[in-house]
Chains A and B, each alone.
Chain A
Amino acid sequence: MERESSDEAHRPDTPPLVASDVRKVFQRGERQVAALRGVSLSVKHGEFLAIMGASGSGKSTMLHALAGLTDIDSGTICVEGQDLAKLPDAKLTRFRRDRIGLVFQAFNLVPTLTAEDNVRLPALEQAGLEEKVTELFAALGLSERRGHRPDALSGGEQQRVAIARALVSDPAILLLDEPTGSLDSVAGQELCKILKILSADRQKTVLVVTHEPAVAFWSDRVLVMRDGTLLDEFSTDDLESAELLAQRYQLALNQQTIT
């Protein structure tokens, strides 16, 4: 894989993900909708960050921009020091494949491939792939299911396979868009536990977009978005339950409404 990045990327004090003054406007017929209005953020190594917000707040657009899935109108997004806007399509695709792990709410897996082939897919040329796949399946509790196709897996299992696929190329960051949206609460909590382990124990940088306080509760820090701007930011260290997090989130929204 051709690395566009600089030495900066490997410096431990350099945040793996930095976004500065990101702006994005969508054209909806004759109407222009500002999805992102100068959003800036920085995520540290091993940090578990949650972005919360209501529908239309711009949180998903922000995640897509961070993953290089959508072009931004202005601002910069650097992953491991690499400005995504400077990469042509093919190089961006390879960069995303190797350095960014992506997990969506659903439709995550290629239906014609088995679970292990789905995991192998982004890293087929990589050395030591089989050991890595085996280790990931073991770590995610999927060793018995690796030969199954997606239609034979439960929703939770499919999401875990998707996480394994996102991790197989050892990316700098893991971006998840509403990963528990299609799961029941038990499976959702198990998934969150895995994400917490990844960030805490394996020092993976995890960014989750969600509207569920129960998911955000597992994160280290929460960013609240509304109307394309960052509204608030708070740590979860002092919050003892998801309910308290929900109240804090609501408070952030209400304060802004009052002001």
Chain B
Amino acid sequence: MRAVLLLIRSHLSVHRVRTLLTTLATASSVCLLVWIISIYSSAIRSFDLYASRALGHYDLIVDPVSRKANREVASPALELLRDEAQVAQIDPMWARLLTFRAERTDTDRSKGSQEVVDRHSREGGWEEVIIGSDAEAPPFPLLRGRWIAPDTSEGLQAVLSLECSERLGVTVGDELSIAGPTENQPRIQVVGVIEPPPATITGVMVGSRMLPSPSVGAVFVSMNDAERIHRTKPTITFAAVSLRDGVDVHTFRYRLAPALYALAKPVQFMTDLDMEEEMSEAAKASSMTLQAYVVGIVSVLLAFLVIFSTLSMGVTERARQFALLRAVALTKTQLSALIAGEGLALVSFGLLLGIPAGWFLVIVVDRATDGVIRNGVHVDWTGIGLAVLISGVASLLAGVLPAWRATRVKPLDAIAPQNATRVESQWLASFGWLLVAFPLIGLLPLVSLVFPPSVSDPIFARLMLGAAGLALGLLLLSPVLVRWTDRLCVPPLARLLRLPKALLQQQLTSQLWRTVACAVTLSVGMGLFAAIHVWGWSMVYVFVPTNWAPAATLVLERPLASDQIDQLREWNPALQVVPLMVEQPRLRDDLLNSAEFPSVTRQMVVVLAGLDPQSGFGGADPLVDTQWIAGTPSEAIAMMKSNRGCVVPDHFYNQAGLKLGDPIYLVPPESPENPVRYTLAGAVRLRGGQWMTKTTNMRMRTHRSAGLVFADYQSVAGDFQLPGPRHCWIQSDEASLDEDALLAAVQSVQYRLDTTLGQEGKPDARIMPTQDIEGHILSAAQFWLWFMSVVPLIAIAISSVAMLNIFLASVRARQWDFGILRALGFTRSVLIRIVIAEGILVGIVACLVGCAFGLIAGWCGTALTQTSSWFGGMDIALTLPLVTLLIGSGTLLTFAALAAVWPALKISSMSPLSLLDRGRGMSQ
């Protein structure tokens, strides 16, 4: 073993540049791993924290479905939840807006806040949200004093939020009074101060509605005191729920939703827009965990490939040396140990350099991104420990093939002519490998597209199996790709670089190990980059409204009367104004199995849009001009008019497994005891329908919706007791819609009929052009997809360092050949161009392998996402982001060419004689 250690030490120290570059590349991979794992784990922690901050220590909020003034969480709902074994605690809460005045014991304290009082107070008091609760503990950290006692015979007591306490200039021991018409208002003693999250994070109001969350509370009192203040028994505005340890909030929520909806006074686990978004952030957090795993795999794979390529190169150029060692000293086992030891040494150097570098980077990011990652960025040492372990194993695995190749060297090769000692590798490019490669490549399409999984299938296992098969298949295919590239790309590249074709030909195939190692290493980043963009853009475009959508949606605060709509139509006859009766009822039956497999399209609630069937679907130029998956426009129109027919989106139709004529029972939110029977009249493609309803307040009761369902205007108005349309779809023949003119016209018609509207006031309406929705989705997608592309681009940069390393070794091994060329009269410039051309050719192979991986993995990923992702469920079409792929390929080719520059300059700077001398030396 001492001989092995001696050889490892001498090899690494003599080839310092190679060791340094390999260390640099490996360290960069490790650094990337440390950085990404830390950032992701911090971000996930931050999301979790963020999601829960609005809720305090609670997990969920129970909110009435009804939006009527007398809405409440009735006792059956509370009882149902109390009977749930998974519920640890439920605290009903009452919330109202009241005006408070500070009754300070120390008047000096008010000086500082006097200006604020003058600016914001109304009638000398402050409008604050008071919350009545008998909770045993405060929902947020207690800063001063104590929490309210549930029942006290003493005077009224309150705990204030820190913000309220500062606004009013009061603290523990001070008193508040409630502003009212008489002077004899009750006084409330402040007994404690708590610290909810800032309103800028949690929000207080959305539209005209108060968020149902403890975070909106400024003044907390017991229910007893609430009754004394309110002078009547408080109704329950919302209830806060804590679940037992280990219970998954998401699963619990969707499991219990049907029971809550089925109550006489239905309630829902609906937090509200902001919190609801945060709940989906939690879903994002789990997808971020997956992303972190992917990045981790990529980093380790990169380190593996860097070490693999270095070791492979070492075996190729040291074949004669190994033969000599076998002849005079080492057994095959010792030779294998030599290769494995070199791999371990290289990964150790990488870890020693990479972990501190990653740690440093994390600190820099933490300081530079104050507030972005809200929970701060911390080094995730568990992840790093795992990374060290995996890297070690990866380095050992990276040595397996080179070690096997080394042991194939025979002792006799030590005295054989130089050419004979090159490890034979042309067999790699044999077309016979295609018989193995193609089935492996086809594995992922097979398990995702040909036999798509059901929601209960193990998706992750399919993905891992398919992706591994794809990677292995492409690895086996790459030698053949090298051969094709050699044949097809060399002639044009030789012309471009003005090189004799013969000098470039066979350069790739004659050094197959080098070429394949370089290309595969480079292709990792490119593959991930392509997969992200193919998957991402294919997923994004299902959310982008297409031609079926109207030019704009008019969103009204007050319903329009029919003559107001007529006036709008008269104002500009070129505009097609289609009023919509919109409600967000729930499905009586969980047709989409949302309780078990909730997703963005598997919900119990739909957005129901009542429209004139003829305008919507009839005629030669219907408003909703789209493809029919089931039924025909004429039959659907007839059913809508006569038989409460409804038209559903294709994903709803497919997931529910309904047939035309099947009933769909919808429960009116304000009249849950009277479900309405609708009949399935047709199904249409509605790409982007989800976002249309999201951004136009059509989801007025809950943030979630299974899809946009169309029915007859009059039926919806009658069944759901809607006074008039709050939405109009606008179709325009003009090239661009004059939004300002339209808004002015809306204001004008509203004012004409309703004199209570002020002329000075803002119009009670807004316009959401469909183009803006598209622009918003695409720009957001662009930002996130490029944000996610940072890692693959870094991977390309890291792998180009590995390529530089391999090329340095490659030109070193070919000094004799280059010496001959120089002796024959070829200039330095020719040598430079040859080496750079080789770099470009290797880059082309890497692009082919990477794009093939990205295309197949990305496209199959969308199919798997259909059943596994929160955002799955919709009909997805393959989208090829050609420009993006060209940018990625261009970046890779640039890095590949740059990686060849140093070796090219190095070899060209040597004289012919020294090339020949050193070349001869290399062969000895």
Q: Is the CB of A93 within 8 A of B331?
A: yes
The answer to the question of B375 belonging to the interface, with a C-beta cut-off of 8 Å to chain A, is no
A96 to B326, CA, bound (A): 10
The answer to the question of B634 belonging to the interface, with a C-beta cut-off of 8 Å to chain A, is no
A122 to B325, CA, bound (A): 9
Q: Is the CB of B414 within 8 A of A104?
A: yes
Interface string of A93-114 (1 = CB under 8 A from B): 1101100001011111111110
Find A107's partner among B13, B15, B414 (CB 8 Å cutoff): B414
Q: Is the CB of A90 within 8 A of B924?
A: no
Given A90-B333, A110-B321, check contact A96 B6 (CB 8 Å): no
Give B923's nearest chain A residue, CB to CB.
A107
Find A124's partner among B3, B13, B328, B333 (CB 8 Å cutoff): B3
The answer to the question of A165 belonging to the interface, with a C-beta cut-off of 8 Å to chain B, is yes
Minimal beta-carbon separation of B7 from chain A (angstroms):
7
A112 to B414, CA, bound (A): 16
Point out the residues of chain A lying under 8 angstroms from B332, CB to CB.
Answer: 89-90, 93
The answer to the question of B327 belonging to the interface, with a C-beta cut-off of 8 Å to chain A, is yes
Q: Is the CB of A110 within 8 A of B412?
A: no
Q: Is the CB of A108 within 8 A of B329?
A: no
Q: Is the CB of A113 within 8 A of B923?
A: no
A120 to B411, CA, bound (A): 19
Give B322's nearest chain A residue, CB to CB.
A110
A121 to B327, CA, bound (A): 12
A121 to B8, CA, bound (A): 13
The answer to the question of B17 belonging to the interface, with a C-beta cut-off of 8 Å to chain A, is no
* Residue among A97, A106, A121 with most chain B CB within 10 A: A121
A13 to B332, CA, bound (A): 35
A96 to B414, CA, bound (A): 15
* Residue among B2, B326, B329, B332 with most chain A CB within 10 A: B329
A107 to B333, CA, bound (A): 23
A166 to B321, CA, bound (A): 16
A107 to B6, CA, bound (A): 19
A113 to B328, CA, bound (A): 14
Q: Is the CB of B321 within 8 A of A69?
A: no
Point out the residues of chain B lying under 8 angstroms from A121, CB to CB.
Answer: 3, 6-7, 325, 328-329
Find B329's partner among A64, A97, A106 (CB 8 Å cutoff): A97
Given A102-B328, A110-B324, A110-B325, check contact A69 B6 (CB 8 Å): no
Q: Which of A67-107 contact B (CB under 8 A)?
A: 67, 69-70, 89-90, 93-94, 96-97, 102, 104-107
Interface string of B408-444 (1 = CB under 8 A from A): 0011101100000000000000000000000000000
The answer to the question of A212 belonging to the interface, with a C-beta cut-off of 8 Å to chain B, is no
The answer to the question of B776 belonging to the interface, with a C-beta cut-off of 8 Å to chain A, is no
The answer to the question of B14 belonging to the interface, with a C-beta cut-off of 8 Å to chain A, is yes
The answer to the question of B10 belonging to the interface, with a C-beta cut-off of 8 Å to chain A, is yes
Q: Is the CB of B328 within 8 A of A96?
A: yes
The answer to the question of B320 belonging to the interface, with a C-beta cut-off of 8 Å to chain A, is yes
Point out the residues of chain B lying under 8 angstroms from A104, CB to CB.
Answer: 324, 414-415
Give A106's nearest chain B residue, CB to CB.
B924
Point out the residues of chain B lying under 8 angstroms from A157, CB to CB.
Answer: none
Point out the residues of chain A lying under 8 angstroms from B324, CB to CB.
Answer: 104, 107-110
The answer to the question of A2 belonging to the interface, with a C-beta cut-off of 8 Å to chain B, is no
Point out the residues of chain B lying under 8 angstroms from A165, CB to CB.
Answer: 328
A127 to B13, CA, bound (A): 27
Q: Is the CB of A112 within 8 A of B10?
A: yes
A69 to B329, CA, bound (A): 13
The answer to the question of B11 belonging to the interface, with a C-beta cut-off of 8 Å to chain A, is yes
Give A177's nearest chain B residue, CB to CB.
B415
A70 to B923, CA, bound (A): 22
The answer to the question of B921 belonging to the interface, with a C-beta cut-off of 8 Å to chain A, is yes
Point out the residues of chain A lying under 8 angstroms from B737, CB to CB.
Answer: none
Minimal beta-carbon separation of B408 from chain A (angstroms):
12
A238 to B329, CA, bound (A): 39
Q: Is the CB of A90 within 8 A of B331?
A: yes
A149 to B320, CA, bound (A): 17
Minimal beta-carbon separation of A98 from chain B (angstroms):
10
Interface string of B315-355 (1 = CB under 8 A from A): 00000110011111111110000000000000000000000
Q: Tally B residues with Cβ within 8 Å of A.
A: 29
The answer to the question of A233 belonging to the interface, with a C-beta cut-off of 8 Å to chain B, is no
Point out the residues of chain A lying under 8 angstroms from B15, CB to CB.
Answer: 112
Q: Is the CB of B412 within 8 A of A69?
A: yes
The answer to the question of A117 belonging to the interface, with a C-beta cut-off of 8 Å to chain B, is yes
Give B921's nearest chain A residue, CB to CB.
A151
A165 to B14, CA, bound (A): 21
A104 to B410, CA, bound (A): 15
Given A113-B10, A121-B6, check contact A107 B328 (CB 8 Å): no
Point out the residues of chain A lying under 8 angstroms from B325, CB to CB.
Answer: 110, 121
Point out the residues of chain B lying under 8 angstroms from A112, CB to CB.
Answer: 7, 10-11, 13-15
Minimal beta-carbon separation of B923 from chain A (angstroms):
7
Point out the residues of chain B lying under 8 angstroms from A150, CB to CB.
Answer: 924
Q: Is the CB of A105 within 8 A of B415?
A: yes
The answer to the question of A125 belonging to the interface, with a C-beta cut-off of 8 Å to chain B, is yes
Give B421's nearest chain A residue, CB to CB.
A107
Give B330's nearest chain A residue, CB to CB.
A93
Q: Is the CB of A97 within 8 A of B328?
A: yes
A67 to B328, CA, bound (A): 10
A125 to B13, CA, bound (A): 23
Minimal beta-carbon separation of A108 from chain B (angstroms):
7
Point out the residues of chain B lying under 8 angstroms from A106, CB to CB.
Answer: 924
Given A89-B332, A113-B6, check contact A96 B412 (CB 8 Å): no
Minimal beta-carbon separation of B335 from chain A (angstroms):
10
A67 to B921, CA, bound (A): 26
Point out the residues of chain A lying under 8 angstroms from B328, CB to CB.
Answer: 96-97, 102, 121-122, 165-166
Q: Which of A42-76 contact B (CB under 8 A)?
A: 60, 64, 67, 69-70
Minimal beta-carbon separation of B915 from chain A (angstroms):
15
A107 to B11, CA, bound (A): 17
Minimal beta-carbon separation of B271 from chain A (angstroms):
66
Give B920's nearest chain A residue, CB to CB.
A106
Give A61's nearest chain B residue, CB to CB.
B412
Q: Which of A163-192 contact B (CB under 8 A)?
A: 165-166, 177
Point out the residues of chain B lying under 8 angstroms from A107, CB to CB.
Answer: 320, 324, 414-415, 923-924
Point out the residues of chain A lying under 8 angstroms from B331, CB to CB.
Answer: 89-90, 93-94
Give B327's nearest chain A residue, CB to CB.
A102
A7 to B11, CA, bound (A): 41
Given A94-B331, A97-B329, check contact A110 B7 (CB 8 Å): yes
Minimal beta-carbon separation of B738 from chain A (angstroms):
79
Point out the residues of chain B lying under 8 angstroms from A117, CB to CB.
Answer: 6, 10
Q: Is the CB of A93 within 8 A of B10?
A: no
Interface string of A128-158 (1 = CB under 8 A from B): 0000000000000000000001110000000
Give B12's nearest chain A residue, CB to CB.
A112
Give A91's nearest chain B residue, CB to CB.
B331
Minimal beta-carbon separation of B288 from chain A (angstroms):
46
A112 to B7, CA, bound (A): 8
A60 to B412, CA, bound (A): 11
A122 to B332, CA, bound (A): 15
Q: Which residues of B contact A (CB under 8 A)?
A: 2-3, 6-7, 10-11, 13-15, 320-321, 324-333, 410-412, 414-415, 921, 923-924
Known: A94-B331, A110-B7. 11 other contacts (CB 8 A): A90-B331, A93-B326, A97-B328, A105-B415, A110-B325, A113-B6, A117-B10, A121-B3, A121-B329, A122-B329, A151-B921
List 15 A–B pairs whose Cβ atoms lie within 8 Å, in order of A's numbering.
A64-B412, A90-B331, A93-B326, A93-B332, A94-B331, A96-B327, A102-B327, A104-B324, A107-B320, A110-B321, A112-B7, A112-B15, A121-B328, A121-B329, A125-B2
Which 6 A-B residue pairs are closest in the complex by CB-CB distance? A112-B10, A112-B14, A124-B2, A90-B331, A93-B331, A122-B329
